């Protein structure tokens, strides 16, 4: 038997036995990433190369909040950012700070939940701040004034969270006294 025939037989063997080999590993037991690289997320947002397909909001955790808050006051306008896939409205651009605060809010809302409800993973349908009672929403809602007010509220909340602990802090809405809400 020459080398060519031997290779042909080996190839044939593997092509007919792929199912045998693919059954060896149960993919449900493969360890998955349990945390998202916040530094990588922030860098991809800042240079506008973020890809929604590589982002899983459920991987964000409580300990990520300080890094997100560090950029919570940023007025950098970005066009590639996390979006709630359930929303029919497509926000074309947003301030980096608003995105960071929106992600902090998502972490707060989901903290301590053993399973994620896909309809409640995000803080709202869009990273848009609006005055309570305001009926129409557009990207113009995300004013510099709203960013400053909400950023100060989240910083205050985080300082308090460090004193009272996350079990109590997760139940406190940072925007409660601001007249603002997520839309």
pLDDT tens digits, one per residue of 70-120? 999 999 999 999 988 888 888 899 999 999 999 999 999 999 887 666 677
Residue 59 lies in a domain: yes
Residue 68 confidence (pLDDT): 97
Residue 117 lies in a domain: yes
Q: Which two tokens stand for residue 175?
A: 């925007």
Mean pLDDT calculated for residue range 23-47: 65
Residue 12 lies in a domain: no
* Owning domain of residue 113: 35-182
Residue 32's pLDDT band (cuts 50, 70, 90) = very low
Residue 71 lies in a domain: yes
| Number of domains into which the chain is organized | 1
Residue 121 confidence (pLDDT): 85
Residue 31's pLDDT band (cuts 50, 70, 90) = very low
Mean pLDDT calculated for residue range 141-168: 96
Residue 22 lies in a domain: no
Residue 40 lies in a domain: yes
Residue 7 lies in a domain: no
**What is the rounded distance in angstroms from the CA atom of residue 9 to the CA atom of residue 14?**
9
Q: Whole-model pTM? A: 0.78
Residue 19 lies in a domain: no
The answer to whether residue 28 scores a pLDDT higher than 60 is no
Q: How far is CA 85 from CA 6, 14, 56, 59, in A?
A: 51, 40, 11, 16
Element (H, E) at 116: none
């Amino acid at each position: 038997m020459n080398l060519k025939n031997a290779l042909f037989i080996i190839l044939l063997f593997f092509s007919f036995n792929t199912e045998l080999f693919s059954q060896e590993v149960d993919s449900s037991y493969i360890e998955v990433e349990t945390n998202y690289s916040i530094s990588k997320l922030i860098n991809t947002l800042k240079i506008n190369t973020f890809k929604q397909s590589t982002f899983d909001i459920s991987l964000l955790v409580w300990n990520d909040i300080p890094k997100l808050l560090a950029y919570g006051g940023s007025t950098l306008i970005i066009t590639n950012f996390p979006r709630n896939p359930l929303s029919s409205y497509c926000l074309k651009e947003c301030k980096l700070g608003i995105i960071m605060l929106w992600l902090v809010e998502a972490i707060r809302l989901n903290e301590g939940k053993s399973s994620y409800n896909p309809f409640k993973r995000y803080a709202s349908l869009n990273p848009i701040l609006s005055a309570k009672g305001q009926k129409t929403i557009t990207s113009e809602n995300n004013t510099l004034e709203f960013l400053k007010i909400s950023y100060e509220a989240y910083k205050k909340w985080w300082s308090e969270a460090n004193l009272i602990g996350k079990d109590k802090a997760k139940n406190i809405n940072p925007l409660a006294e601001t007249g603002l809400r997520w839309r």
